[in-house]
Structure 1
Amino acid sequence: MLEWLSQPWPWYVAGPLIGLIVPLLLLIGGKSFGVSANLRHLCAAVLPTRVDFLRYDWKRQGLWNLTFALGIVLGGFIAATLLASPDPYVHISEATRADLAALGITDFRGLVPSEFISWKGLTTLPGLIMVVLGGFLIGFGARYAGGCTSGHAIMGLADLQLPSLVATIGFFIGGLIATYLILPLIL
């Protein structure tokens, strides 16, 4: 069973399973899919409520979402420890490997390139830009857009929301700009 779970699932199995989450969430109480609001829920739970933005019933609005985020973290831990492949290399296409090598990324062990996603990589300018500045921009952008890529692309599009379509198109355009214009400048 563990071997079957540790293999990549085909798109025609994983895609419909992800797609079925949306109607399931709507049917069990009008919940929406997304993770980026959890920072607000955590701050509302922990910080004094002098900030109007954090003055709301976080238990009623966000407890299920915090539980969902905890499940993501636990699922990632289980996948990385119990279901991890003994092969340390990420299997990507040779064309992608060549493109990344041209940008200076040569270590394909683990889930992310250690050239900038590591403590050593964080001390470099590209690593600092990618992790700290990139993380800030992702967090700020998710809150400014009213949700993250998953929330808009999966939940918002399934709910036929025009702002989610606009946001999803913006995510793809931003990804293309980052991949072909910004990333080559940083690396």
Structure 2
Amino acid sequence: MNLIYDPWPWYIAGPLIALTMFLLLFVGRKFGMSSSLRTMCSIGGAGKISDFFKYDWRAERWNLIVILGAVIGGFIASRYLSDNTVKINPEVAQQLSEDYGIASAGQAYLPPELFATQQLTDPFVLVLLILGGFMVGFGARYAGGCTSGHAISGLSNLQLPSLIAVIGFFIGGLVMIHLLFPLIFS
């Protein structure tokens, strides 16, 4: 196994996530990506419009560094340390190709049939992106956090609302992939 170029197995990645969570809990921090969006909106002056954004955002600057690190790390990993393919079940790749016209499934991390810049000229794709973005933003705000915050940080703190949110995320994912995806992309 090549530690730089290959995905890390669960027995390495899992303990590293647990160690990170322990360190964050030890220093009194909560992990979550969507909270950084609130911080950015607060920095941008959204507190003048909504009380939700009126808080001491300077105390949350550390989370912006986490976001910056995730963006830079993702760029370096995708650009220099990966062939940008996803290993998926060959039967799933065949179904995506035959049923939904996604011929590059399993060959490209971001299949061009869905993510190429030419797709942005299609009004249907634009509506899906705007609607999807709205639903993700609304859902993260309504749930009081995103999947990473609830599933990693909230469950580590044994918070019942996080357990309920994670169950909702899984149900939503199942509904999307089994009911809505076939309706949208058929």
Give the Å deviation of 1:37. 1.3
Alpha carbons 1:116, 1:126 under 8 Å: kept:
no
SS in 1 for 2:4: helix
CA-based RMSD: 1.9
Equivalent in the alignment of 1:98: 94
SS in 1 for 2:34: coil
Percent of residue pairs bearing the same amino acid type: 49
Deviations 1:93-113 (A, max 9, x none): 202202211222112343222
**Aligned 1:1-150 pairs, distance under 5 A:** 4-28=3-27, 30-47=28-45, 49-51=47-49, 52-60=51-59, 62-85=60-83, 89-101=85-97, 102-108=99-105, 109-124=107-122, 127-150=125-148
Name the CA shift for 1:130/1:105 in 2 (closer, same or farther; >3 Å).
farther
Deviations 1:36-94 (A, max 9, x none): 0111111111226423222211011x101111111100101110122122xx6433220
Give the Å deviation of 1:117. 1.6
Partners of 2:46 and 2:119 in 1: CA distance: 36
Partners of 2:160 and 2:178 in 1: CA distance: 27
Can you give the 5+ residue segments of structure 2 that lack an aligned partner in the other structure?
Answer: none
Deviations 1:107-154 (A, max 9, x none): 234322221222212333553344221122111101110000111011
More displaced, 49-58 or 63-72?
A: 49-58
Partners of 1:77 and 1:163 in 2: CA distance: 33
Alpha carbons 1:22, 1:158 under 8 Å: kept:
yes
- The one-letter amino acid paired with 2:11 is Y
Give the Å deviation of 1:172. 0.4
Partners of 2:13 and 2:46 in 1: CA distance: 41
TM-score, structure 2 as length reference: 0.89
Name the CA shift for 1:5/1:130 in 2 (closer, same or farther; >3 Å).
farther
After superposing on structure 2, the runs of 4+ consecutive aligned residues of structure 1 that deviate more than 6 Å are none
More displaced, 71-80 or 39-48?
A: 39-48
Equivalent in the alignment of 2:183: 185
Name the CA shift for 1:130/1:70 in 2 (closer, same or farther; >3 Å).
same
- The one-letter amino acid paired with 2:63 is N
- The one-letter amino acid paired with 1:100 is L
- The one-letter amino acid paired with 2:61 is L
Can you give the 5+ residue segments of structure 1 that lack an aligned partner in the other structure?
Answer: none
TM-score, structure 1 as length reference: 0.89
